[in-house]
Amino acid sequence: MNRLLIVAVVYLAIQVTLADVNSKRPECRDLVGDISNCSRFVRCFRNVRVLFTCTSGTLYSPKSKSCVDKSLVNDCDDPKERVEVSIQHDVNVTDDEYPTIEADVNALEILSEKDVASKDIAARSQKGFGCGSYCKNQGQCVIVSQTVSCECPTGYSGVQCQVAQFLISTREGCNPNPCDNGGICTEIFPNTINCTCLPGFVGSLCSYPDVTTTISPNQPCSVNPCVNGGACLNVPGGGFRCVCRTGYTGILCDISGSLRLREIEIETSLVYNSFFKDISTNPCCAVVLAPAAPNQCQPNPCQNGGTCYLRPGSFGCSCPVGFSGVCCEINLVATNPCYTNPCVNGGTCQVAGPNLFRCVCPTGYNGLRCEIRVCDPNPCLYGGICLVIGNNFQCQCPPQYTGPTCGILVPPPNPCISQPCLNGGTCTPTGPTTYVCSCTPSYYGPCCELRNYCIPNPCYNGGSCVATTTGYLCQCSFPFTGSNCEALITTPMPRPVCACVICPCPTPVVTVVNPCLPNPCQNNGGCAVQQNLARCYCPTSFTGYYCQFARKRAMSNAPCANVTCMNGGECFVNENGPQCTCPKPYYGKECEQMNRPRTCLPSPCGQNGQCIGTADGYKCLCKNDTTGVLCEQKLMPKNYRWCPIDCQPDTTCVYEGNTPKCRAL
């Protein structure tokens, strides 16, 4: 009992390693093509990446995410949809690795392309394919619940079928050596052995040639597959034939011809024929071949408590349970190790050789004698669900964990990991895929990509700075001039004249200017962009379109009910009654007038506008997606994000000063 307990504990330790490792697995781009081979593509599973190869005559199309006829693919060198793939050929999985393996070339002929393209594979539906670089000892890859595991052949177990099941011996271990073809026998535990095979042979007893050894298609005998001294002959057209030595037969000369029994008409118990010798060599049976005695049951020739009875000219032995043979001389327990069925929990006993057996366990059990329940106790950490896969297990992990036993913490997606904020800006995540950039004073834009050349102000002597996409312009106050208002004018102040009806007039240089930068709203008003125009949200104590007037508490806004301000203008009440305050470039008593050129000679509309005369005066007709009085502004789409923050419901992104914030309006 103590020996079995030790064996069970050690075996369980080999099968399951519980690890709690907070490691980060590398990023995996799913359904991306291989730039070095246009017919290959990558699938990302929970524990490995798998490189699949399209079937013959097709290539992988990243756009349709499927294998299509090769005549339809012309983007094999596209670096955006295809990447360099590094394959690991000798993979040993641990909890802190995320390897890239290659499926067998014919995997998609066995496993349909739909099976590997879908993300909705049922948790318990198995999809198998060949993957010699991952599953050892001819194991098959199986996809269950978006995780790749190995389905092992008889005699192997483990995550990658890397653990050979030990054989249990009913005699003293390795004496004599039960391993074939020069295999080395090692006694792992008392009465538990393992065969280490020489190159070219596999199997629990090294009885079979290693079919995974690279063999030339035209020279199948380059590695002799015939056992027991058989000679291999190449067959014309492909294949081979084994010529066996005397005493052996079978396709690989693996059946001994000396193990047949001579038929004897006598009642007997079930005999395990593989271990019988020719009856003529059995000394106990000499009485059968000798001349008949008057009473052949005297003395009793039956051994081991057998009962003798007479037959015409002969005798027979009725053997007790556990013995067989002509004279009950065969101990079935000794010659047939499976006679008493040592496997528990419904395991099937298989004879592996003289005095050797192994247990083939039913689904859900493992161990030398099927004494271990696969999922009891649960090896999956952090609430993982243990799924029984043949004689092994697979963990269905919670979304934030992965690994063979759910021991790896998957970090949440971080949109700032790619450092999208430029020019020293600070990135702050606002969601799994969204972020906001806090820019330094000299830059602005969603990613701080635009330079604000007016910070700090380069204009001297009180000059006003106007930022452009490539620099700035200084608007100087009299009596100063120069590119930076650094020069003093000694002549009298001229009459203010500009190209527009209302001065100052915009510069006819096309720019993408955020109407809210710099913020035109006064007295701490919040600025938002509506239809490419600045819209101000004023504190309660100020009014006017740009929050430029103090609100008179003693005056009611009721008179504004009879006033209509056009073009987005707003009505306010002062000592002179209701008045309209207008957004630029509108003016007039009801904001009905729009600033326009004074004349078309010369044309002030620049390269993107045409100056024409109308009944109301001159006007610039803009083209090339421009707008403005002199076609100086780039027309942006209606859904263009002027303010970069994603605000909660019932709040709006506005600029307070030059800083974007969410405000309840």
> How far is CA 261 from each of CA 271, 272, 503, rounded to the nearest angstrom?
10, 11, 120
Q: Of 437, 460, 457, whose CA–CA distance to 447 is shortest?
A: 437
Q: What is the pLDDT of residue 438?
A: 92
Range of weakest confidence among 11-25, 66-80, 238-252: 11-25
What proportion of the chain, given as a percentage, has pLDDT over 70?
Answer: 78
Q: Model confidence over 299-314: pLDDT tens digits?
A: 888 998 899 988 777 8
Q: Model confidence over 258-270: pLDDT tens digits?
A: 333 222 222 222 2
Residue 390, in any domain of the structure: no
Mean residue pLDDT of the chain comes to 77
Q: Are 582 and 600 found together in one domain?
A: no
Q: What is the pLDDT of residue 12?
A: 42
pLDDT at 213 over 50: no
Q: Model confidence over 374-433: pLDDT tens digits?
A: 888 888 999 899 988 877 888 989 888 888 889 888 877 888 988 999 999 999 998 888
Residue 281, in any domain of the structure: no
Give the bridge partners for 249, in sequence order: 255
Q: Are 600 and 644 found together in one domain?
A: yes
Q: Are 648 and 602 found together in one domain?
A: yes
Q: Model confidence over 422-449: pLDDT tens digits?
A: 999 999 998 888 999 999 888 888 999 8
Please give the Cα distance from 665 to 645 (Å, whole number). 15
Q: Are 607 and 587 found together in one domain?
A: no
Q: Is the peptide bond before 377 cis (omega within 30 degrees of 0)?
A: yes
The H-assigned helical ranges of 111-198 are 113-117
Domain boundary among 173, 195, 222: 222
Q: Are 612 and 659 found together in one domain?
A: yes
Q: Of 474, 445, 443, 439, whose CA–CA distance to 457 is shortest?
A: 474
- CB of 146 closer than 8 Å to CB of 153: no
- CB of 619 closer than 8 Å to CB of 506: no
Its pTM stands at 0.34
Q: What is the pLDDT of residue 426?
A: 93
Q: Of 473, 476, 405, 459, whose CA–CA distance to 632 is shortest?
A: 473
CA dihedral 448, 451, 454, 457 (to 10 degrees): 80
Q: Tell me, what CATH number does 190's domain have?
A: 2.10.25.10
In the chain, what are the helix, strand and coil shares in percent, each to the nearest 5? Answer: 10, 30, 60
> CB neighbours of 13 closer than 8 A, spacing ≥ 6?
none
**Over residues 199-224, mean pLDDT:** 63
Q: What is the pLDDT of residue 240?
A: 64
Domain count, the chain: 5
Please give the Cα distance from 88 to 77 (Å, whole number). 23
Residue bearing the bigger pLDDT, 272 or 147: 147
Q: Are 169 and 196 found together in one domain?
A: yes
pLDDT at 94 over 80: no
> CB neighbours of 289 closer than 8 A, spacing ≥ 6?
280
Residue 229, in any domain of the structure: no
Q: Model confidence over 624-635: pLDDT tens digits?
A: 888 888 888 888
Residue bearing the bigger pLDDT, 269 or 351: 351
Most confident region among 15-24, 190-199, 587-596 by mean pLDDT: 587-596
Please give the Cα distance from 343 to 14 (Å, whole number). 20
Please give the Cα distance from 94 to 404 (Å, whole number). 8
The b-or-e profile of 39-57 (16+ CB within 10 A means b, else e) is bbbbbbbbbbbbbbbbeee
pLDDT at 251 over 70: no
> CB neighbours of 514 closer than 8 A, spacing ≥ 6?
444, 445, 529, 642
Q: What is the pLDDT of residue 120?
A: 42
Pairing of strands 426-429, 408-409: unpaired
- CB of 14 closer than 8 Å to CB of 163: yes
Range(s) of the domain holding residue 626: 596-664
Angle at 351 between CA 259 and CA 375, to 5 degrees: 170
Q: Are 432 and 481 found together in one domain?
A: yes
- CB of 36 closer than 8 Å to CB of 85: yes
Helix H or strand E encompassing 492:
none
Residue 302, in any domain of the structure: no
Helix H or strand E encompassing 371:
none
Q: What is the pLDDT of residue 567?
A: 86
Pairing of strands 549-550, 542-543: antiparallel
Q: Are 547 and 570 found together in one domain?
A: no
Q: What is the pLDDT of residue 493?
A: 54
Find tokens 């038929």 and name the residue: 263
- CB of 61 closer than 8 Å to CB of 47: no
Query: Tokens in use for 350?
Result: 């298989």
Please report which confidence band the pLDDT of residue 290 belongs to, taking 50, 70 and 90 as the band edges.
Answer: very low
- CB of 445 closer than 8 Å to CB of 420: no
pLDDT at 291 over 60: no
Residue 152, in any domain of the structure: no
Polymer length in residues for the chain: 665
Q: Are 436 and 479 found together in one domain?
A: yes
DSSP string of 515-578, one letter each residue: TTSS----TT-EEEEETTEEEEE--TTEESTTS-EE--TTS-SGGGGG----TT-EEEEETTEE
Residue 617, in any domain of the structure: yes
Residue 453, in any domain of the structure: yes
Q: Are 658 and 601 found together in one domain?
A: yes
Q: Model confidence over 541-572: pLDDT tens digits?
A: 888 888 888 887 767 778 888 889 998 888 88
Please report which confidence band the pLDDT of residue 225 belongs to, taking 50, 70 and 90 as the band edges.
Answer: confident
Q: Are 526 and 585 found together in one domain?
A: no
Q: Are 600 and 660 found together in one domain?
A: yes
Please report which confidence band the pLDDT of residue 18 belongs to, taking 50, 70 and 90 as the band edges.
Answer: very low
Domain boundary among 222, 248, 274: 222
Most distant CA atoms of the chain, gap in Å = 161
Q: Is the peptide bond before 479 cis (omega within 30 degrees of 0)?
A: yes
Q: Model confidence over 447-493: pLDDT tens digits?
A: 998 888 888 888 988 888 888 878 888 988 878 888 899 888 876 65
Query: Tokens in use for 44?
Result: 């990302």
Q: Collapsing DSSP states into helix, strand and coil, what is residue 143?
A: strand
Q: Of 117, 3, 8, whose CA–CA distance to 52 is shortest?
A: 117
Half-sphere exposure for 366 (CA within 13 Å, toward CB): 29
Residue 634, in any domain of the structure: yes
Please give the Cα distance from 186 to 195 (Å, whole number). 6
- CB of 522 closer than 8 Å to CB of 546: yes
Query: Tokens in use for 354?
Result: 């003289």
pLDDT at 98 over 90: no
- CB of 170 closer than 8 Å to CB of 355: yes
